[in-house]
Amino acid sequence: MSDATSRRRWLVVVVLAVALYVVVRAAHTPQSDPPPPARASASPTRSAGSSAAPSGSASSYDPADYATQVRARAQQAGVSAQLVMAILYNEAYKPHDSAFERAWQKYKPDAAFGIANMHHATFDEVKQGRDFADRKWEELPDDRDLAVEAEAWYLHDLAAQLPGRWSASYSRNDLLALGYNTGAGNMLAFARGATPGSQAQSYLDNLHANWAKAGRQSGG
């Protein structure tokens, strides 16, 4: 075998190896990095907020489409509909598609579910003694009304833990939103005057940015 023939054969082998490597890498590399989960935060037809809406892609989801559910569930829980809606806008940063959420949860088991981004332990605690006590956290991606209902009652439970007066320069809604994002313990610390970290402050800034829009959509 001549040296030229040997070199050609080795060149073909190298080219095929590189092509195979590229194909394998493409098959196992995601097209984009999935967003991080939030902190908090097929169903039957349900009352007091209409039936569960079908899940959609990130581009098709708009919290304003759930204004009816927001008003109904906020009234039931005795919380501000504007606050419930503003939090939905805050939590709309990631795709709220049920298939995406479940795929992401397999990658990161502590991820949150539903359009209100609620964690498993929080949902199981909030549902106790409520009319959705028999529902499961795993249903949240498919039942957006359930997600709104759980959000509203969680805000109700946070409000019950607020002191009668607080020294910090936050409104009641500010503290509840901070509690929704960081937990009741941190909410009470902020009420005593603790300074929010960068993530909590960003969440509060987003709430303020979404506040007027949430008021228009929820009826104030």
Q: pLDDT of 189-199, one tens digit each?
A: 999 999 999 99
- pLDDT, one tens digit per residue, over 139-153 is 999 999 999 999 999
Distance CA 5, CA 1 (A): 7
pTM: predicted TM-score of the whole model, two decimal places: 0.74
pLDDT at 21: 32
- Provide the pLDDT confidence category of residue 164 given band limits of 50, 70 and 90: very high
Distance CA 74, CA 25 (A): 48
| Residue 201 half-sphere exposure toward CB, CA atoms < 13 A | 5
pLDDT at 189: 96
Beta carbons within 10 angstroms of residue 142's beta carbon: 19
Instruction: Please give the residue that has the higher pLDDT: either 58 or 216.
Output: 216
Provide the terminal-to-terminal Cα distance of the chain, rounded to the nearest Å: 85
Percentage of the chain beyond pLDDT 90 is 63
100 residue type, one letter: F
- Provide the pLDDT confidence category of residue 66 given band limits of 50, 70 and 90: very high
Say whether pLDDT at 113 is over 90: yes
DSSP, res 118: B
The residue-averaged pLDDT of 177-184 equals: 98
Instruction: Please give the residue that has the higher pLDDT: either 97 or 209.
Output: 209
- Provide the pLDDT confidence category of residue 95 given band limits of 50, 70 and 90: confident
Say whether pLDDT at 116 is over 50: yes
CB 150 within 8 A of CB 74: no
pLDDT at 110: 87
Closest to 152 measured CA to CA, from 188, 175, 123: 123
Percentage of the chain beyond pLDDT 70 is 73
Phi-psi region of 148 (alpha: psi -120 to 50; beta: other; left: phi over 0): alpha
162 residue type, one letter: L
